[in-house]
Amino acid sequence: MSDRRTHWSTEALLLGSGMFAPLAMSALSPVLPKIQQAFGGTTDAAFMTKATVMVVGIAMIIASPLSGALVRKLGARRLLAGCYTLFLVAGVAGMMLPTLPGIVATRLFVGAAAAVIVALAISLIGTLYEGRARERRIGAIHGLGAALLAMLVPTSGLLGDLGGWRMAFLVHLVALPFLILTLISPDLATIQKDPQHGARASSSIRPVLGIALVAILAGSITFSIPVFEPFRLVEIGVRSSAVAGAMFSITVGFSVASSLAFGELRRFAPNAILFLLAFGFWACGLTVVGFATTIQGVASGMVLIGLGGGLVGPTIFSLVASLSSDADRARNTGLVKGVYYAGPFLGPSALHLAFPHEPASTSLFALASLAGLLAVAACMMATRSRTIEPST
């Protein structure tokens, strides 16, 4: 299959869509302590506050694997337009609901919409491009998505400081320009009629099972960080939502850099080496944040976390794209995205159950230990496996 020349609106739509899943899970991160304080009288308010992130993961686990079947039934334009609309409406609705369980319920819809958006965007990139062009764009969808996220999460924190925590929900309005791009893109009607992208997937998922295992562990680390980072700042005496958003932006900024470098790094290093770097950065960064007693210490750890996080996603989904046929790609991408998005539920809930009364630093050390184990596994894969070589 040869690469196609796509309209600017399609390029902008696909490459910018990478932010929606992490935004669904991180949009409220800077104001989580304020939400917990506002609903202090609610039964188990601490757990329910974290559930605003956890249920996003549950919705993603269910919705993401369905993206292949949904696009065959509805077509790319209708499916994306519906998901952007749902993300916008359900996201903004949270600011008007009077109860914490009601807010948690809206996050289910936000998560489902975001999961399908990102899975479909990555699948379409895999179908439209191949080789280096595909890897550059897979790196770009994570990098550019992270760049947009770096602006929106601090905006959420700033809105929370200026107008109260409910104002943070307004960041979901970012879906509106993407809805417009979906409606004006001249390519989506052609894409949905593509016989390869619309072909029925084969029954075997064996090629991506190993990647799925890595994805679920990586997702547990990725999406636990924005849950515990604001509480870690509170432990060292920093209670500003804007500062919490700024710390998150440091991570995202360095994640952008490493994501955009992914295409070039793949020229020189196999995926196992990139996994080793990513998980090693994570282990070091999480340890630094756990021990830090100043904002500067937390910021330095967030730099390392960002460098690692920027490599994880592109490496995982570049492998999925290269190991999948055109007929299988939407299904396999949705499957791996689905288990990756189990992280927002599995990570925070497991840590909450294991350390219900411990400081946030304890959970961060546990995440660092998991990242260290994954780094060791990547090192073993790098020294023993010859099956996945750098791109040519």
Query: What pLDDT does residue 57 have?
Result: 79
- pLDDT tens figures, 332-372: 877 887 788 777 678 888 898 899 889 999 999 999 999 99
Q: What's the pLDDT band for 248 if we cut at 50, 70, 90?
A: confident
Query: What pLDDT does residue 197 have?
Result: 45
Q: pLDDT over 90 for what percent of the chain?
A: 28
Q: For position 87, which CATH number holds?
A: 1.20.1250.20
Q: pLDDT over 70 for what percent of the chain?
A: 89
Residue 218 vs residue 131, higher pLDDT: 218
| Token pair for 202 | 């084969």
Is residue 1 a part of any domain in this protein?
Answer: no
Is residue 389 a part of any domain in this protein?
Answer: no
Give the CA count within 13 Å in the CB-facing half-sphere of 389. 3
Is residue 392 a part of any domain in this protein?
Answer: no
- pLDDT tens figures, 95-140: 899 899 999 999 999 999 998 998 888 888 877 777 777 777 877 7
Is residue 3 a part of any domain in this protein?
Answer: no
What is the rounded CA–CA span in Å between residue 159 and residue 182?
28
Query: What pLDDT does residue 195 have?
Result: 38
Mean of the per-residue pLDDT values of the chain? 83
Q: Which of 112, 120, 118 is nearest to 87 (CA)?
A: 112
Domain limits for position 340: 8-384
Look at residue 168 and tell me whether its pLDDT is greater than 60: yes
- Domain tally for the chain? 1
Look at residue 299 and tell me whether its pLDDT is greater than 60: yes
Residue 42 vs residue 34, higher pLDDT: 34
Query: What pLDDT does residue 5 have?
Result: 67
What is the rounded CA–CA span in Å between residue 288 and residue 290?
5
**What number is the average pLDDT over the span 13-19?**
86
Residue 186 vs residue 87, higher pLDDT: 87
Is residue 2 a part of any domain in this protein?
Answer: no
Q: What's the pLDDT band for 178 if we cut at 50, 70, 90?
A: very high
**What number is the average pLDDT over the span 180-197?**
68
* Lowest-confidence segment of 2-6, 110-114, 180-184 by average pLDDT: 2-6
Look at residue 245 and tell me whether its pLDDT is greater than 80: no
**What number is the average pLDDT over the span 192-213?**
60
Is residue 391 a part of any domain in this protein?
Answer: no
Is residue 54 a part of any domain in this protein?
Answer: yes
**What number is the average pLDDT over the span 296-302?**
94
Q: What's the pLDDT band for 204 if we cut at 50, 70, 90?
A: low
Query: What pLDDT does residue 221 have?
Result: 92
Q: What's the pLDDT band for 87 if we cut at 50, 70, 90?
A: very high
Query: Cβ neighbours of residue 360 under 8 Å, at least 6 residues apart?
Result: 228, 229, 231, 232, 234, 235
Residue 328 vs residue 387, higher pLDDT: 328
What is the rounded CA–CA span in Å between residue 334 and residue 233?
35
Q: What's the pLDDT band for 388 if we cut at 50, 70, 90?
A: very low
**What number is the average pLDDT over the span 270-299?**
92
What is the rounded CA–CA span in Å between residue 369 and residue 278?
14
Is residue 390 a part of any domain in this protein?
Answer: no
**What number is the average pLDDT over the span 81-86?**
96
Query: What pLDDT does residue 260 have?
Result: 83
Look at residue 18 and tell me whether its pLDDT is greater than 80: yes
Query: What pLDDT does residue 104 have?
Result: 93
**What number is the average pLDDT over the span 249-267?**
84
Q: Is the pTM of this model over 0.75?
A: no
- Judge whether 351 and 270 are in contact, CB under 8 Å: no
Look at residue 92 and tell me whether its pLDDT is greater than 50: yes
Query: What pLDDT does residue 202 have?
Result: 53
Look at residue 157 and tell me whether its pLDDT is greater than 90: no
